[in-house]
Amino acid sequence: MAYNLLKGKRGIIFGALDANSIAWKTAERVHEEGGTFVLTNAPIAMRMGQIKALAEKTGSEIIPADATSEEDLANLVAKSTEILGGKLDFVLHSIGMSVNVRKGRSYMDENYDFTAKGWDVSALSFHKVMQSLYKADAMAEWGSIVALTYIAAQRSFPDYNDMADNKAYLESVARSFGYFFGKNKMVRVNTISQSPTATTAGQGIKGFNGFINYADKMSPLGNATADDCADYTVTLFSDLTKKVTMQNLFHDGGFSNTGVSQEVIEEFSK
């Protein structure tokens, strides 16, 4: 169901790879709600994914950009405001990658070059994106910037590896930059802490299927899906959440506040 929540609003969506990705689902929902946007991803990710199909479906242009490159981001921001015909109302940062995870390196045996690369892509890139937007004065008043995160930023999940550290840094950037973006530009910045979700990136984590099932059994409402996350993101892009900023918002079916569920007790009582 569409409510026209984003009619006339413009933005940039980072990170759509394929139909499983949260950024992809969000782009579809934003389009349904009347928003227009530019799609962007790293050139290598664009070769792997099917972003062109999404662009055609939503009538969007694609601007390749490496989110760790200040030059690429400056170009992306300038071209996006030109293509869309004005300042931006929303930006989604849906980017994450751990080279250590991809290469099978454990948290106790990190390759620090891998760590630095993953941190740059997954966390520092959020600061770089916001700094590029801020310096170009590219955000409209009451605009909304959202990044995706995970509860491993607060609690230990053994196989989440160095991505947990990246997410903790990302959430801190949202609070710190969110203060200045709010004070000086009337723009809000939030992170959504999403349930484990069966995206292409998520499935790269060891033991992921067991974990997604555990989270589902722990959450009173069950896991939030990628579609659910797209809906929630739309509310944060809309004018209905104008005074919500610098928050880490748990979107996880209640997982974050559940000590133990009846299903888990029964599982261990067998």
Q: Which residues fall in the annotated binding site? A: 15, 21-22, 95, 167
Q: Which two tokens mark 258?
A: 């559940």
Is position 150 annotated as part of the catalytic site?
Answer: yes
Distance CA 41, CA 49 (A): 10
Q: Which of 107, 112, 160, 179 is catalytic?
A: 160
The CA dihedral of 32, 79, 182, 191, to the nearest 10 degrees, is 50
Q: Which of 3, 112, 134, 150 is catalytic?
A: 150
Q: Which residue has the tokens 């250590």?
A: 100
User: Residues annotated as binding site for NAD(+)?
Assistant: 15, 21-22, 95, 167
Distance CA 6, CA 34 (A): 5
Q: How far is CA 106 from the centre of its chain?
A: 24
Is position 160 annotated as part of the catalytic site?
Answer: yes
Give the active site residues: 150, 160
